[in-house]
Structure 1
């Protein structure tokens, strides 16, 4: 199984699910170059993944899914990334929709919802999961073009009450499978709320009145993700297609193992799969092709030896970060507190994607001028992996946030309150001249 290159200790059940992924890879690989050239998601891939049962990969069996976990998702997006990174990325975002079902159900079990709230929360969560298991493609729309200085995602799309449901207005700038997915799972802010307590989730049918596609996204890489985004102008969503319990969104997030909804590392697996593919291609090409005068492989030249050595180091670096994060977020019982897992991911995402980009850069250099083609394996990988540097959040932001976490914690250690006995001692008259360093007065 291709996914075993990342998840090395698969169980028998995980291998069975991974076999479904491997079965679709030839079709994904065959369509990848043309999809990149056209900047269009291959329409046939929806049916292909649906027939393989993969749209319900991480849905529990009780809801009709395959019963996979984060380990399965990471293995799947990694394997797809070796064949068609664009499809892998779009597939990742479909699977993130499962969090809108799994996390609310966990929050119910944890007692985070009142008795009067549970029926609505459970009904919506189960609808998410059963639809995915039935082969419905869900595009998960949260990101917007409006940005704030203090948050990765700022929600300005609004939902206002009307008879029997809600009216949505806004624009979503990022979300794969625009015009492809059956539903856009859309995050919006309830009218009258100014905090995350007012965030709600809505099923928006692809062809609903008032839904339109933004201008075509002519991306540098990951071009076949159908990442155009949508506009919502007075879109009506009935009550039973929405989760509008105030605070439901923030309460469900408390149940995730890592950052945000807890499956973000699978996006880094896409890039690692892409890096592995361009690495394999480079090794095969440079060892097969030989110098005309010596007959020795191109790979034997000192320059190529240096390039291959550095590519290998960077690829192994990506694997180390990714496997460690996967272990942190999937081990039972949890090895580290959630805040530490979050901190590790803020470092890990950028570390993985930067390393993967360096692999592609090495492959691009190793191929020389003749290999520097837009549609070549190295050229596509270089463009696709460049997107990893900016998608979700850049490495620089992750390192900044980790530095703030670390230094804030240290600052808190430096300042504390003294027990009452210490205060009494300090206020008592001094018995005589003090001795010691003058620094004690500082």
Structure 2
């Protein structure tokens, strides 16, 4: 086994990290804007996992994850990276893998270039972890479907131009009871709600999207009718692996900041670095980071080699998300009272890390998937 990055990967990683560092210094994060979205597109992140013929970079899962990790380590805003990842993995990948050729041709170049923003419309007010019972209905009519229902916590929802939307087409169909659609924002009967007030990931706006007899033509069905769960689970394999590379970069950044802090800060006549409990805490932070990194890279490698990545993806998502929260909290303990001051940015990192154990499938859901992979 080769656990090292190739020279090409190292060069790309360093280039992305430097570009993100320069960008974050020039324009500090202040929520979402179309300009910041275009800058993110300029880094190549919006189409990283899309073939060059469609306007992307043509990377596989591992190389895509490395780009997101590098951007995060370089200091790119976590919320904006999350918005970009939700756009790419939950929306662009389904269009790439399941849309009709003419639909791919019409949408993918603009999605990769940042001219269009995509939002993932799966979660509903009464369907969070249980995505098998969607209240949003899609009724077949001549030439397409009529969508009725409400989606909540739609990442990029308030600003999206396109929504990858899941709706029930056969209430008695079980696994084959839902269908995925690519729905334009200007479709009649679609109303995007205002941004929700969130405590973290501020640059990724989220909100409700309501459908009232919203017509979607047949050529905007992703896959075949009844394949909604397949489309969703395929996108989640990418999201639960590649997106969480953002949190590898965030942890790396936090650890570096903590190491610098404890070398300079003194208590009890010693550097904090010379106090064993502080050193132990940093050692635990490093072990969590590297353990999650190995699992995430393995999950991406399974995707790239065409294996069933389900078990590795669930383990990676669980390990990295839990590590992100624990490491952000540990950074708070190391910085002490300064962690509560916004000028140090630690409290922001905690707020950005906390949702990681909830979105893309909660930690409890990942444990269920792991248990299922064990044959339980």
For Structure 1 versus Structure 2, the TM-score category normalised by the shorter chain is 0.7 to 0.9
- Structure 1 residue corresponding to 2:97, chosen from 100, 103, 128: 103
Instruction: Give yes or no for the alignment of 1:41 onto 2:32.
Output: yes
With normalisation by structure 2, the TM-score equals 0.84
Deviation at 1:76, TM superposition (A): 2.4
Mark the runs of 5 or more structure 2 residues left unpaired by the alignment: none
User: How many angstroms does 1:21 deviate by?
Assistant: 6.7
The answer to whether the 8 Å contact 1:59/1:66 transfers is yes
Match of 2:256 among 273, 280, 294: 280
More strand as a share of residues: 2
Determine the structure 2 residue equivalent to 1:79: 70
Distance 1:206 1:169 in 2: 15
- Equivalent of 1:387 in 332, 335, 355: 355
Question: Which of 386-395 and 127-136 deviates more?
Answer: 127-136
In the aligned structure 1, how far is the partner of 2:343 from the partner of 2:150? Answer: 32
Q: Determine which of 319, 322, 325 is the counterpart of 1:351.
A: 319
Q: Does 1:377 align with 2:357?
A: no
Map Cα deviations across residues 295-341 of structure 1 (whole Å, 9 max, x no partner): x53322333223222222222222232222223322x4x5xx52xx3
The equivalent of 2:166 in structure 1 is 187
Name the SS for the 2:102 alignment partner.
helix
Equivalent residues in 2 for 1:29-428, closer than 5 Å: 31=27, 35=30, 40-82=31-73, 83=75, 84-96=77-89, 97-104=91-98, 121-135=100-114, 136-147=116-127, 151-152=130-131, 154-190=133-169, 194-214=173-193, 216-243=195-222, 245-249=224-228, 256=234, 260-290=236-266, 294=269, 296-330=270-304, 332=305, 334=306, 338=308, 341-374=309-342, 376-408=344-376
Q: Say how many residue pairs are matched.
A: 370
SS at match of 1:180: coil
Higher-Rg structure is 1
Give, in whole Å, the separation in 1 of the partners of 2:195 and 2:232.
32
How far 1:86 sits from its partner (Å)?
0.7
| Runs (5+) with no aligned partner, structure 1 | 1-6, 105-119, 409-442
Decide whether the 8 Å contact of 1:61 with 1:67 is kept in 2: yes
**Whole-angstrom CA distance in 2 between matches of 1:191 and 1:406:** 31
3-state secondary structure, aligned to 1:56: coil
The question of whether the paired residues in 2 share the 8 Å contact of 1:159 and 1:169 is answered with yes
Q: Do the aligned residues in 2 keep the contact of 1:217 with 1:228 (CA within 8 Å)?
A: yes
Output the CA distance in 2 between the equivalents of 1:306 and 1:251.
44
Shift of 1:93: 0.9
The normalised TM-score by structure 1 is: 0.73
The structural deviation recorded for 1:350 is 1.2
The more displaced of 125-134 and 367-376 is 125-134
Asked whether the equivalents of residues 286 and 298 of structure 1 are also in contact (C-alpha less than 8 Å), the reply is yes
Structure 2 Cα separation of the partners of residues 172 and 100 of structure 1: 18
Which has the higher mean CA deviation after the structures are superposed, 90-99 or 46-55? Answer: 46-55
CA deviation after TM superposition for structure 1 residue 162, in Å: 4.0
Q: Runs of 4+ in structure 1 displaced over 6 angstroms?
A: none
Give the secondary structure class of the aligned counterpart of 2:46.
helix
Structure-2 separation of matches of 1:192 and 1:403: 28
d(CA) in 2 for partners of 1:362, 1:392? 24
**How many Å apart are 1:99 and its aligned residue?**
2.3
SS in 2 for 1:188: strand
Cα-Cα RMSD: 3.2
Distance 2:372 2:9 in 1: 41
Partner SS state of residue 153, structure 2: coil
CA distance 1:29–1:182, change in 2 (3 Å): farther
